[in-house]
Each structure stands twice: as C-alpha cells, then as structure tokens.
Amino acid sequence: MSAPSTPSPAPAGRTRAAVMEDVAARAGVSAMTVSRVLNTPEKVRPQTRARVLAAMRELDYRPNSAARVLATGRSGVLGVVSFDTTLYGPASMLYGIEQAARGAEYTVTIASLRTLTRGAIEEGVDRLRSQSVDGVIVIAPHLSAAEGLRRLPPDLPLVAVGAADDLPVPVAAVDHRAGAVRATRHLLSLGHRTVHHIAGPMDWVDSDARVAGWRHALAEAGREAPDPLPGDWSARSGYEQGRVLAADPEVTAVFAANDPMALGLLRALREAGRDVPGEVSVAGFDDVPEAPFFAPPLTSVRQPFGEVGRLAFQMLLERIDGAEGVPRRTVEPELVVRESTAARAD
C-alpha cells in the first residue's frame, strides 16, 4: 500500500518469505550448509559462513521453526499451566520462568485454567502437548491438583511449582511452613500469648503448609492454637474474618496467610477502633510491593517468586536432558518486619 519508507532489508515486492533454499542459492552453497551455519557454525569455513550470513541478511531470512521441530523433534518451547495468572504470585512466577527460559533460548506458551475442576490440569497439559512443547511447568498449588498430576503421561518432562509433597513429580516450591513458623515466632517473641490465624482456602497446599507452620510454632512454645479462620486470599475475606477477630478482646496478634487478607483485616480492625500495632499486631505473607504502604506498613513473609520460577525452569531443563527421580527443592522465604507488629501492651 504505502511507499516503503523504512530502510527495511526485505526487498519490497517479494511475495513469499525467503526459505533456506533461497539463502543457499544466493550464497552459492547447498541448503545443508546454510543449516550448518545456523546450528554448528564452527563446522563451516569462516569465508563460506560470512557469505551465507550476508545472504540471510539480504533476504531477511528467518528459520521456520515448525519445519525445524518436525525434523528434530525438539521445539524449544515449554508450556506453563497455571491457575489464575492475575494473582500476584502466579504472575511473578510466570515472569521468572519466562526470563529464565529466554536466557536458554526457550519460548514459553501458557494455558491458564479458569477453574480447577477435575481434569482441568490434564486438559491444560494436553493442549500444550499437542503444541509439541519440550516440557511443562504446572503452577497449581491445589490439593485437588494432585489427582490431575498423578495421571499425567509419564514420558513428558514436567515440574510442578508449589505442589503437595507426596506426588510422583518433581517440585519446586517456597517453604511455606518455614515462613509461617518465622512469622508466628516473631509474634510470640513480642510477648503475645497466642497468635490467631486467617488461613487461605482449604484446597490450597500453601494454606495447609502455613497452617502447619503456625501450629508448629505455637506448639513448640506450649501455646494453644485457636481455630484458624478460613479465607479465600481476597482482601474481602480478610475483612470479614477480621470483623470477627476485632470483636474479640482476647485477640492481640493475627497472622494472615497472605497480604490482601491482611489488608482486609487491617481495615476491619481500624473500623472497630482497635489500634494496630498498639492493641493488635498483624503479620502477612507474600510481601507484595505495596505492603510497606499499608496502614500501618505490614510485617510480612517475603516470597521469592521469581527465584522459584527460575528454579522450576532449571529443574525442567534437567528433566528434558534426561534426569530421573522426583526431587523436591524449596526456597526459604524471609520475614520482613515493619510497623504492623509490636510488643504486646500490658
């Protein structure tokens, strides 16, 4: 349509994209030599290589990956099956994976799950598999996901992120339990008699592990564990459970299983006129970028999402290269103390 104004190297008027044969003809070599320049350049005489590279540039040649895949059986693509990539955690992990993958010349294809119905994971993996991915990373930290993971094709290289630990698949995860222990110990060390807990949804592995860590820290200090209150990760659920806790004058320390719930909790406490951290201390989990700006700035357990993403990718590479076994590697989270926790007033 428009006149070619850019100094594009692609000859205008050309109708079909250049293929290897075109490059070969232009450089006066065979297609195979062109292929070698791409894959094993050291096996081509520098002079020839230069001619071929020049021809590629002149024709704006791009290798056709579909043909490559067909010929080699390797795609250089890895699939990520994830539940709700809108959440900060999954989004960050996806990002970490993508960055790591790029460094290793891999491309990432995604399959988001809308729901976690039975079979959803298998369907996601299937969609990716038919795209001939070299391997798959599953981000689905649900207990019910375990079932789906069990019945996956055993020949497909696969790594799960943050999954249950009794699975027959390799897992990369944050040590949620250790994080919960740290947060709870911190609150106890401030003189609180016990620590209440707003938990994540029942179905999540993360929730489970955090409840376990919280329980453990209370037990080792010889304290009773009050019933945890169930939330669903949303600020709203934190708010609702927070209203319950705010009404109970015995409550002086609360550990929320993630930051949005902590935010909701803070609002509930504020509305009930209970000062944080004067009357009640609050700790969260995730350490989202906004946590330092909550009212008050939130003490939270920082999850190294990006790092887990990189770890998962690395483990997947090992699988693809033929590693056996079902390792489980974890990354330690770190407690970041801010102003929402303080010594118990007497």
Partner DNA sequence: GGGCTCAATGTTAACGCTAACACAAGCTAG
Partner DNA sequence: CTAGCTTGTGTTAGCGTTAACATTGAGCCC
Report the nearest approach of a copy of itself to the CB of residue 139 (Å): 13
Choose between 45 and 114: whose C-beta lies nearer to DNA: 45
DSSP string for 117-144: -TTHHHHHHHHHHTTT-SEEEEE--BTT
Residue 36 touches which of DNA, a copy of itself, none (CB < 5 to 8 A by kind)?
Answer: DNA
Residue 275 touches which of DNA, a copy of itself, none (CB < 5 to 8 A by kind)?
Answer: none
Residues forming the site for DNA (CB under 7 A): 16-17, 19-21, 28-36, 38-39, 43-45, 47-49, 63-64, 67-68, 70-72
How far apart CA 77 and CA 72 sit, in angstroms, is: 13
Report the nearest approach of DNA to the CB of residue 31 (Å): 5
How far apart CA 238 and CA 256 sit, in angstroms, is: 8
Report the nearest approach of a copy of itself to the CB of residue 135 (Å): 15
Residue 83 touches which of a copy of itself, DNA, none (CB < 5 to 8 A by kind)?
Answer: none
Residue 44 touches which of a copy of itself, DNA, none (CB < 5 to 8 A by kind)?
Answer: DNA
Residues forming the site for a copy of itself (CB under 8 A): 1-2, 6, 8, 10, 62-67, 69-70, 75, 77, 84-86, 88, 91-92, 94-95, 98-99, 102, 107-112, 114, 126-132, 150-151, 153-154, 168, 234-236, 238-239, 260, 263-264, 266-267, 270, 289-290, 292-295, 297, 324
Report the nearest approach of a copy of itself to the CB of residue 265 (Å): 9
